[in-house]
């Protein structure tokens, strides 16, 4: 059905409503608008006359007048618009459901991966006392998001793990060099005459000379070495 052509034809026709005019005696029928004169029939067709179903046909044509046709076309158009809107919403919901399902599947995969990573990280972090230094422990904890409330903050908390390790190694090397470079300057050797045994240390040589005890202690302490006793 060409609905647009039907609409254009209805808009050009005489507006409704239409009524049936019948003459039972002569069996003639016509269609006219209410309150019009007898000579102003909308349809006066001889084909209606003397036909077995002439009255019913004329009644149908009068009932399905241009006004009714336009109303039905408008209703059909509105229903089509509503149908299109519902289909658009259904398509959008289908897309949303597909996206939500994909996001859910991705989230489940991510959770499974994260659970495995966290489990492995916790095992590594628990080994800090046996296999890892405190610096390694901190790096692992920070990498895997494990809280370490039992440790004080590092000075270089924001330094990358590899850089922090390099800083630690460099500091240890420097300290070793400092220790290896230390020199203790011993006091002048003295003759044992006039010293008690607890006031001097004997020098290990053939001359049997002694070093002043207090002077030796001062020299050792000056080199950064603690002296006990």
Query: pLDDT per residue over 39-80, tens digit each?
Result: 565 666 665 556 667 777 778 888 888 888 889 989 989 999
Q: Which residues contact 92 (CB under 8 A, 6 or more apart)?
A: none
Report the predicted TM-score, pTM, of the whole model to 2 decimal places: 0.38
In a domain, 119, yes or no: no
In a domain, 93, yes or no: no
Domain count, the chain: 3
Strand order in the sheet with 189-190: 189-190, 210-212, 200-202
Same domain for 29 and 53? yes
Q: Cβ(38)–Cβ(23) under 8 Å? A: no
Query: pLDDT per residue over 114-124, tens digit each?
Result: 776 666 666 65
Same domain for 193 and 174? no
Same domain for 171 and 197? no
Q: What was the pLDDT predicted at 49?
A: 57
In a domain, 100, yes or no: no
In a domain, 145, yes or no: no
Beta bridge partners of 22: 29
Higher pLDDT, 219 or 138: 219
Structure tokens at 131: 């296999």
Residues in the chain: 229
Same domain for 199 and 169? no
In a domain, 8, yes or no: no
Q: Which of 39, 64, 89 is the last residue of a domain?
A: 64
Among 14-23, 54-63, 193-202, which is the least confidently predicted range?
193-202
Same domain for 34 and 58? yes
In a domain, 213, yes or no: yes
Same domain for 25 and 58? yes
In a domain, 5, yes or no: no
Determine the structural domain holding residue 28 and report its residue range.
17-64
In a domain, 140, yes or no: no
Please determine, for residue 220, whether its predicted confidence score (pLDDT) is greater than 80: no
Query: In angstroms, rounded to a whole number, what is the distance separating the alpha carbons of residues 11 and 121?
Result: 79
Same domain for 24 and 60? yes
Q: What are phi and psi of 99, to 5 degrees?
A: -65, -40
């Amino acid at each position: 059905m060409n609905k647009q052509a039907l609409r254009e034809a209805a808009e050009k026709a005489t507006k409704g409503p239409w009524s049936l005019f019948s003459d039972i005696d002569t069996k003639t029928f016509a269609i006219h608008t209410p309150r019009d004169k007898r000579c102003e029939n909308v349809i006066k067709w001889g084909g209606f006359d003397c036909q077995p179903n002439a009255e019913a046909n004329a009644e149908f044509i009068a009932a399905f007048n241009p006004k009714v046709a336009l109303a039905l076309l408008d209703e059909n158009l509105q229903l089509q618009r509503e149908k299109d809107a519902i289909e658009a919403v259904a398509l959008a919901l289908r897309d949303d459901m597909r996206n939500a399902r994909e996001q859910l599947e991705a989230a489940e995969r991510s959770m499974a991966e994260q659970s495995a990573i966290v489990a492995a990280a916790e095992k590594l972090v628990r080994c800090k006392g046996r296999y890892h230094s405190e610096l390694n422990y901190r790096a692992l904890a920070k990498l895997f998001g494990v809280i370490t409330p039992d440790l004080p903050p590092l000075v270089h908390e924001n330094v990358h793990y590899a850089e922090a390790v390099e800083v630690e190694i460099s500091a240890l090397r420097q300290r070793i060099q400092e220790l290896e470079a230390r020199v203790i300057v011993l006091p002048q050797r003295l003759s044992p005459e006039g010293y008690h045994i607890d006031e001097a240390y004997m020098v290990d040589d053939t001359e049997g000379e002694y070093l002043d005890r207090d002077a030796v202690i001062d020299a050792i302490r000056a080199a950064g070495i603690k002296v006990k006793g």
